[in-house]
Structure 1
């Protein structure tokens, strides 16, 4: 998707996101946050959106969230303030293709339902790998293209409307598995109806 399309799409969705896409993606979000909370340490959430995940991280984590949409971030900031989430280290407006953090800054990076939204997802994955510490993990939930059945047919029909919907329904999983510094550690299907996939990618430790 083009950046302007992402901006306009999420400006439209921000007021109702929590009750629509937020509800559909709840299982994936909870799975990712529970996994990360067991790991501990510092966390970067790429595409934090309205901050739906933030209240569920463990209190001992240090969570930084970024998003390109100022409308989404405003809602996340309100959530943090109202719930007094002391483990949220910061929320910043940022392009995920050019992360403003030094190399090896975070123990874990979360990417929940964002990789099929961003322009140039391969570049985003390269940036995620760069800011991840050696031995760290990228924890992902996302919808990926189905190869058969009713879902595959629906994805084909909706694919031309990506800019309106705000995400690519026909997004290929291989798009994010090509980052050479990351290896696949876990993969499982998630509700609803196996539409979402949970992934853990691990960054190699330095010798």
Structure 2
């Protein structure tokens, strides 16, 4: 999707996102946040959206959130203020393809239901890896295309409507697995209907990266 289409889509979704897509994706969000809480440390949530996950982070986690949609960020900031979420240190508008943070900044970088929305997802994952500390983790929760079966046919049927839906229904997982900096340490499908995948990637230590070059 082009960035202009992403912005337009999420302007439409922002007023009703929490009650619609946000409700469907609750299980994956809970799984990701639970894992992040166990790790603690500095966390970057890329595609923070309306801030649905923010209140679930626990003490010991310092959260920075970024999103391209000002309408979504407005709702996230309202949640931070209303719920007095002191563990959320910053919310910023940002293009995920060019994260404005130094290398090796965060212990965990998480993206929930983002990679099938953004243009150039490979570049987004590369940026997530860049700002993650060596030995840290990149956590992705997303829907990925199935190769066969009824769900695969349904995904292909919805594919032409990506700009309207705000995401690619036929998005292949291979598009987020190409970074040499990252190794897969966990991959798990979960409800509803196994539609979504929890993907945990570890950034290789600096010495491992040097040996690979």
TM-score when scaled to structure 2?
0.96
1:71 aligns to what?
A: 71
Give the match's secondary structure for 1:185.
strand
1:172 aligns to what?
A: 172
Deviation at 1:179, TM superposition (A): 0.6
Give the match's secondary structure for 2:15.
helix
Deviation at 1:149, TM superposition (A): 1.5
Deviation at 1:148, TM superposition (A): 1.5
Deviation at 1:150, TM superposition (A): 1.4
| Separation of aligned partners in 1, 2:111 and 2:25 | 12
Give the match's secondary structure for 1:16.
coil
| Separation of aligned partners in 2, 1:110 and 1:58 | 15
Question: In the TM superposition, what are the counterparts of 1:34-113 in structure 2 within 5 Å?
Answer: 34-113=34-113
| Separation of aligned partners in 1, 2:186 and 2:24 | 22
Give deviations 1:31-61, integer Å, cap 9, x for gaps: 0000010001000000000000000011221
2:156 aligns to what?
A: 156
Structure 1 stretches of 5 or more lacking a match? none
2:211 aligns to what?
A: none
Deviation at 1:147, TM superposition (A): 1.2
1:119 aligns to what?
A: 119
Structure 2 stretches of 5 or more lacking a match? 208-213
Deviation at 1:140, TM superposition (A): 1.0
| Separation of aligned partners in 2, 1:151 and 1:8 | 27
Deviation at 1:18, TM superposition (A): 0.4
Deviation at 1:166, TM superposition (A): 0.1
State the 4+ residue runs in structure 1 displaced beyond 6 angstroms. Answer: none
| Residues 1:140 and 2:140 aligned together | yes
| Separation of aligned partners in 2, 1:52 and 1:96 | 19
CA RMSD of aligned residues (A): 0.5
Give deviations 1:134-160, integer Å, cap 9, x for gaps: 000011110000111211111011000
TM-score when scaled to structure 1?
0.99
